[in-house]
Structure 1
Amino acid sequence: MAETRWSLRWNERPSEEAALFNPAFCGELIYRCVFEYEGIRATPMPLALAFVVLPLTLHPATRVILPGRANATLVTWAAERGPHLAELPDRVLALRPIAREALLFMTQAGALAVTAAGLQRGDAPLRLSAKRPAATPESEEIRRAAGLLGRWFANQGGAAAVLQALGVRP
């Protein structure tokens, strides 16, 4: 198998990528999405949705066009922003290894559990504090966006409708 940058050991990766794409931070983003989704739907979040969290929250140009409220209609929002979302399917594929690594990290830590119904909080849930003393404004914006996605996805028809509106195939 050919070695990719995602298969490099953490100390061999570029420091910027290691900081942004570390499993703890990316796992926290997915966890926040699951937490908010479960808060509205009271059901596990479909696993496929976890793979769009990072491309939507970590990409600054996409993050800034996310709706301000979770009751926005996803299909209308996506239709109005088609050109901005054109590269989203490619980002989903590119970040798939990072999302898998984050999911593995969070399930091993017990924060998330993968069930037949989807992703849910695990036996050792994270404590999501409102403010972190060492957080940057951008990292806080990314965390807020992940929570918004959870509420937004929960207000939509289902995982297939969300993925289709975003142009992503499962």
Structure 2
Amino acid sequence: MAARWSLTWRDRPPEEAALLNPAFCGELIARATREYERLRAAAFPLPLGFLVLPLVLHPPTLAKLPGRANTTFATWSADNEALLVELPERTLRLRPISREALLFLTQHRALMVDAAGLRTGEKPIRLTAKLATVTKDVDDIRRAAGLLGRWFANQGAPVQILQTMGVTP
């Protein structure tokens, strides 16, 4: 599987290159980071950054994410246990994409990584910009990424979030 992600962009299947490109995936992680920072006034824990893509890019999981960040995390996790069974594997499969997105963001100084986690960089992505053409699906994914940042900010320690979702740090 790792060899697939090492292909040049022109050699990747077009639909994968479009959805999993570092700019778009980075934007999703940046949205979660910004919302987490806004509520917690703290860095977004790096391990949680690796949960963003597996949660928002998986249509069945995206459809089941709560509509509000004050939804009880443990209850939601218990109600959606069937979806979360596959989350550790999805997280591992998307880890190279998440890394590539984080590298893209840090190279463009949109995010910084330090010992505390992810922080908005000196040249943040303009997340409020309206694009000329966008689909409802992409809007839903973007909204969900911001929601994850707020939702995670309302939870306990990152290790508890990861354990509840079945992902080991």
Deviations 1:89-138 (A, max 9, x none): 10000000000000000000000000111100001011112632211111
Amino acid corresponding to residue 23 of structure 1 in structure 2: P
- Per the normalisation by structure 1, the TM-score is 0.97
Q: Is the CA contact 2:2–2:96 (under 8 Å) kept in the aligned structure 1? A: no
Deviations 1:35-77 (A, max 9, x none): 0000000000100000000000000000000011001121111
* Alignment match, 1:62: 61
* Alignment match, 1:38: 37
Rounded to whole Å, the distance in 2 between the matches of 1:155 and 1:80 is: 19
Aligned-residue offset at 1:144:
0.2
Q: Secondary structure at the match of 2:94?
A: helix
Q: Which runs of 5+ in 2 are unaligned?
A: none
Q: Secondary structure at the match of 2:68?
A: coil
* Alignment match, 2:94: 95
- Correspondences of 1:21-170 after superposition (within 5 Å): 21-129=20-128, 131-170=130-169
Aligned length: 169
- Per the normalisation by structure 2, the TM-score is 0.97
* Alignment match, 1:9: 8
Q: Is the CA contact 2:87–2:166 (under 8 Å) kept in the aligned structure 1? A: yes
Q: Secondary structure at the match of 2:64?
A: coil
Rounded to whole Å, the distance in 2 between the matches of 1:130 and 1:103 is: 21
Rounded to whole Å, the distance in 2 between the matches of 1:135 and 1:129 is: 13
Q: After the TM superposition, which of the residue ranges 3-12 and 99-108 deviates more from structure 2?
A: 3-12
Rounded to whole Å, the distance in 2 between the matches of 1:10 and 1:130 is: 26
Q: Is the CA contact 2:50–2:91 (under 8 Å) kept in the aligned structure 1? A: yes
Aligned-residue offset at 1:158:
1.6
Amino acid corresponding to residue 15 of structure 1 in structure 2: P
Amino acid corresponding to residue 95 of structure 2 in structure 1: R
Identity of aligned residues (%): 60
Q: Secondary structure at the match of 1:4?
A: helix
Rounded to whole Å, the distance in 2 between the matches of 1:165 and 1:131 is: 35
Aligned-residue offset at 1:3:
6.4
Structure 1's 36 and 109: CA in aligned 2 closer, same or farther, altered over 3 A? same
Q: Which runs of 5+ in 1 are unaligned?
A: none
Amino acid corresponding to residue 142 of structure 1 in structure 2: I
